[in-house]
Amino acid sequence: MSIRFLKDKKRFIINTKSTTYAFDIVMDHYLYHIYYGKRTRELPDPAFRSVSFAPYLAGYDESRSPDVFPQECSFYGSGDFRPNALRLSSDGTGVSDFVYCSHRTFRGRASLDGLPCARADEQTQTLEVTLLDEVSGCRLKLYYTVFSSLDVITRYMVIENGGAGCVKIEKCMPLMLDLGRSDFDMISLYGSHCRELNFQRVALHHGTQSVYSKRGATSHQYNPFIALCDRNATDEKGEVYGFNFVYSGSFLDEVDVDQLGTTRVLIGLGSDCFSYTLGAGERFCSPEAVMTYSATGIGTMSRSFHRFVREHIMPPEALAPHPVVLNTWEACYFDIDAEKLIRFAKEAKQTGFDMLVMDDGWFGLRNNDRAGLGDWFENPAKFPNGLADFVGKIRAEGICFGIWVEPEMVNPDSDLYRAHPEWALRVEGREPLRSRHQLVLDMSNPAVLDYLIARFDETFRGIEIDYFKWDMNRHMSNAGSVVLPADRQGEVFFRYMKGVYRLLDWFATRFPNAVIESCSGGGGRYDLGMMQYGIQIWTSDNTNPYDRTMIQASAMLAYPAATMSCHVSNPHGDLRSLDYRYKVAVGGMLGYELNILEMSDEVKQTIAAQIAEYRGFEHIVCLGDYYSLAFPTKYPYSAYYYATAGAGELLLTVIEKSGCPKGSTKLLKLKKANPDATYVDVRTGKTYCGEELRAGIRVELSGERDQAHLYHLIQTSVIPGYENTTV
Ligand code: GLA
């Protein structure tokens, strides 16, 4: 069992493969956090120290104040002045105090009332600890779900209103972790549209530091992933705590250093965009937050998260080969029609693509981004014989078919909005703000969901669709709903996300053979919630390979390459640029967006060769372990490699950034290589012994424009005919 309870000490111990997590019940009241770190048997006992101004229960003194010891969950107004995990009001004060009641452990996990969560396997176990707030009659259940072999523990909470009246949850942070020191660096990812996932690493300071979204989507601006690491931690050394949230809406990650120099981490829904009223007998289930610990640097944290996301978050089909798509967006924008796209399909098939994805522009009066969203039926001027006939013709070319949708949005210039202006989020008496000329549909309104389901069901009936690109191109302002009373408007953001997940579930059930690529103006919802539904996420609308190199390197800190959708965009027929863009894009799941009808035979042949080559190493990228060798914010180049389990195959990529100095030689150590094996680079036929790869492969940087180097190294014993090769 990875979860144990020591009765005499009233201690919970959770062991994973390499970590231990422990907490005690103290004073028959509080949950005292004892330890989270490297796996150990030597756990300390609770230590109490007296601090003045710290409030305490009758019969105790300052040393037993909830303000001064580490806890598992803390409650606003009950003596812990640090940022709290829960603010719950039964009487308008926001004060609650939950006391330990009971616990149980069980195999597997419980589901989360319509929210995405990590899938259990036969080893997964869960600890449920129940606490009671006598005054309100509410029960709080804290869940710890353990993925032992991956060193991941997830947490969420359930609140059950057992009282007679209503209670209001005003802040909800399902993951709280108190650490006994503050000499950490905090890593976070910030950005904006087209500049997502910039790496930031700064020392913690006293007070609260946070990343957050109040935008109704996780956002381009801050990603919910954060990490705390030793000040001198590197990829291979040092202690690292990693955190994330399985949710796609507004969130708050708070890190606070208190008066005693201890650190509190809180991950959750926050309070600005969240409140939730529970009537008598009702329950609320929070989204799930995720944590991992590594004693061996940032790289180990990333690999634990990668495996966790691949094996427990992404749908199983995401681990099969992904289709190499030709997407029409950057090639055509809104200028599409049946005749043109059938020609695209023909060329795409001949060039080796698996799928044509018809992007924006096919529905309503969608000739630009000012109109049409919400009118989900094909534009008869563009598809004179209907969608079914068109898709039939695409498929007759021997290629699969994908289609773009943005279900959560509406243009004021649309039939839908003219018929139902009240279906857009808005606040009575205030003019709704527009963004990209569009408004957000109220996904918390069941009538909106019913409409969308009926509309898509009808439009796509009898049409074989293999792929949906699910977009979301603005954030939420004026987030009010006509279906909620004034005192429940704070629920809109959360109910909206539950509506989106319900619609995603409907798509998954209604189109069981179709996969989803999710997107929000590129990487605006690059999160574990969306990763549960799609085989990949469009990482950024920015396909410039220099910028992409940075974006992709940061994405790999927390998310596996299997989810990273990377397209080669229009190279204007420049073969060197095409090669460079390809070598950048194969860091993730390869696709293209270019006007295939305008490409020379030479370009098409090059693309065909690229797709064929990618097919030979795609499995290493999709399923392999990732090792960063040179992070591009620190070096004038980016270098990393993927290794299959057992390191029978390695894929090394070196991308020279613009302005990379000429002529220097880099020694890149592929420490995962098997020392006694011989490897052959199937691109050049050159052989290497494993020991040599471990000591370092020499790569000369050219310093010229658009240069990148790719090595696909296969252990010769794995290749028929090469078994006896020696170097
Ligand atoms: C967003 C997406 C693009 C494209 C356009 C279409 O910006 O990120 O890839 O689909 O919308 O309007």
Residue-wise pLDDT for 202-221, tens only, equals: 999 999 999 999 999 999 99
Looking at the structure, tell me whether residues 324 and 245 fall in a common domain.
no
Which ligand 1 atom is nearest residue 404's CA? 10
Q: State how far the Cα of 33 lies from the Cα of 46, in Å rounded to an integer.
A: 8
Q: How far is the CA of 232 from the centre of ligand 1 (A)?
A: 40
pLDDT reported for residue 718: 77
Catalytic residue among 253, 258, 359, 471: 471
Spell 36-70 as b/e; 16+ CB within 10 A means b: bbeeeeeeeebebeeeeebebeeeeebebbbbbbb
Q: Choose the residue to mutate in 330, 437, 473, 593 for probing ligand 1, maximizing ligand atoms within 8 Å of C-beta.
A: 473
pLDDT reported for residue 723: 65
Q: What average pLDDT score do residues 48-67 get?
A: 95
Q: State how far the Cα of 281 lies from the Cα of 161, in Å rounded to an integer.
A: 5
Looking at the structure, tell me whether residues 374 and 302 fall in a common domain.
no
Looking at the structure, tell me whether residues 523 and 408 fall in a common domain.
yes
Q: State how far the Cα of 554 lies from the Cα of 626, in Å rounded to an integer.
A: 12
Q: What average pLDDT score do residues 111-117 get?
A: 96
CA-closest residue to ligand 1 atom 6: 360
Q: Which domain holds residue 199?
A: 3-313
Q: State how far the Cα of 227 lies from the Cα of 213, in Å rounded to an integer.
A: 17
CA-closest residue to ligand 1 atom 11: 521
Q: State how far the Cα of 618 lies from the Cα of 409, in Å rounded to an integer.
A: 35
Q: How far is the CA of 65 from the centre of ligand 1 (A)?
A: 53
pLDDT reported for residue 725: 60
Q: What average pLDDT score do residues 168-187 get?
A: 98
Q: What is the pLDDT of residues 448-468, one digit of tens each?
A: 999 999 999 999 999 999 999
Looking at the structure, tell me whether residues 600 and 680 fall in a common domain.
no
pLDDT band for 572, please (50, 70, 90 cuts): confident
Chain CA centroid to CA 292, Å:
15
Looking at the structure, tell me whether residues 280 and 349 fall in a common domain.
no
Report the SS3 class of residue 257. strand
* Domains in the chain, number: 3
Look at residue 198 and tell me if it is in a domain: yes
Looking at the structure, tell me whether residues 390 and 413 fall in a common domain.
yes
Catalytic residue among 541, 579, 625, 706: 541
pLDDT reported for residue 469: 98
Tokens, residue 295: 């004693």
Q: How far is the CA of 519 from the centre of ligand 1 (A)?
A: 8
Report the SS3 class of residue 5. strand
CA-closest residue to ligand 1 atom 2: 521
The rounded mean pLDDT for the chain is 97
Look at residue 724 and tell me if it is in a domain: no
User: CATH code at 148?
Assistant: 2.70.98.60
Q: What is the pLDDT of residues 417-451, one digit of tens each?
A: 999 999 999 999 999 999 999 999 999 999 999 99
Give the H or E element holding residue 389.
helix 386-396
Looking from the CA of 288 toward its CB, the CA atoms found within 13 Å total 28
Look at residue 673 and tell me if it is in a domain: yes
Q: What average pLDDT score do residues 571-578 get?
A: 89
Asked if residue 588 has pLDDT above 90, the reply is yes
Looking from the CA of 433 toward its CB, the CA atoms found within 13 Å total 8
- Decide if 541 is catalytic: yes
CA-closest residue to ligand 1 atom 4: 329
Task: Tell me which of 283, 313, 343 is where a domain ends.
Answer: 313
Looking at the structure, tell me whether residues 104 and 217 fall in a common domain.
yes
Give the H or E element holding residue 556.
helix 545-558
User: CATH code at 323?
Assistant: 3.20.20.70
Q: What average pLDDT score do residues 583-589 get?
A: 98
Q: What is the pLDDT of residues 532-552, one digit of tens each?
A: 999 999 999 999 999 999 999
Q: State how far the Cα of 101 lies from the Cα of 141, in Å rounded to an integer.
A: 10
Look at residue 95 and tell me if it is in a domain: yes
Count Cβ atoms within 10 A of the Cβ of residue 600 and give its class: 0-12 exposed, 13-18 middle, 19 or more buried: exposed
Give the percent of the chain with pLDDT over 70.
99
Which ligand 1 atom is nearest residue 593's CA? 9
Look at residue 288 and tell me if it is in a domain: yes
Task: Tell me which of 576, 592, 623 is where a domain ends.
Answer: 623
Q: How far is the CA of 395 from the centre of ligand 1 (A)?
A: 24
pTM of the model: 0.97
Q: How far is the CA of 693 from the centre of ligand 1 (A)?
A: 41
pLDDT reported for residue 663: 83
Q: What average pLDDT score do residues 549-565 get?
A: 98
Look at residue 563 and tell me if it is in a domain: yes
The residues that bridge with 25 in the sheet, in sequence order, are 31
Looking at the structure, tell me whether residues 39 and 173 fall in a common domain.
yes
Asked if residue 719 has pLDDT above 80, the reply is no
pLDDT band for 331, please (50, 70, 90 cuts): very high
Look at residue 725 and tell me if it is in a domain: no
Look at residue 723 and tell me if it is in a domain: no
With tokens 């305008």, the residue in question is 598
pLDDT reported for residue 727: 53
pLDDT band for 359, please (50, 70, 90 cuts): very high
Q: What is the pLDDT of residues 483-510, one digit of tens each?
A: 999 999 999 999 999 999 999 999 999 9
Residue type, 376: W
pLDDT band for 726, please (50, 70, 90 cuts): low
Looking at the structure, tell me whether residues 308 and 357 fall in a common domain.
no
Q: How far is the CA of 360 from the centre of ligand 1 (A)?
A: 7
Report the SS3 class of residue 281. coil
Which ligand 1 atom is nearest residue 520's CA? 8
Asked if residue 182 has pLDDT above 70, the reply is yes
Asked if residue 662 has pLDDT above 90, the reply is no
User: CATH code at 646?
Assistant: 2.60.40.1180
Residue ranges around ligand 1 (CB below 6 Å): 329, 359-360, 404, 471, 473, 519, 521-522, 538, 541
Q: State how far the Cα of 113 lies from the Cα of 701, in Å rounded to an integer.
A: 53
Q: What is the pLDDT of residues 245-304, one digit of tens each?
A: 999 999 999 999 999 999 999 999 999 999 999 999 999 999 999 999 999 999 999 999
CA-closest residue to ligand 1 atom 12: 360
Give the percent of the chain with pLDDT over 90.
97
Structure letter (DSSP) for residue 520: B
Looking at the structure, tell me whether residues 445 and 585 fall in a common domain.
yes
| Polymer length in residues for the chain | 727
CA-closest residue to ligand 1 atom 8: 521
Looking at the structure, tell me whether residues 174 and 39 fall in a common domain.
yes
Handedness of CA 464, 468, 473, 477 (dihedral sign): positive
Looking at the structure, tell me whether residues 482 and 382 fall in a common domain.
yes
Q: State how far the Cα of 318 lies from the Cα of 339, in Å rounded to an integer.
A: 32
For residue 429, count other CB atoms closer than 10 A to its CB.
Answer: 6
Q: Choose the residue to mutate in 192, 220, 359, 551 for probing ligand 1, maximizing ligand atoms within 8 Å of C-beta.
A: 359
Count Cβ atoms within 10 A of the Cβ of residue 608 and give its class: 0-12 exposed, 13-18 middle, 19 or more buried: middle
What lies within 8 Å, CB to CB, of 262 at 6+ separation is: 70, 178, 179, 180, 181, 182
pLDDT band for 17, please (50, 70, 90 cuts): very high
Structure letter (DSSP) for residue 286: P
Asked if residue 720 has pLDDT above 80, the reply is no
For residue 628, count other CB atoms closer than 10 A to its CB.
Answer: 18
Q: State how far the Cα of 244 lies from the Cα of 228, in Å rounded to an integer.
A: 12
Task: Tell me which of 252, 278, 313 is where a domain ends.
Answer: 313
Asked if residue 724 has pLDDT above 70, the reply is no
Q: Is 655:708 a contact under the CB 8 Å cutoff?
A: yes
Q: How far is the CA of 128 from the centre of ligand 1 (A)?
A: 42
Q: Is 263:181 a contact under the CB 8 Å cutoff?
A: yes
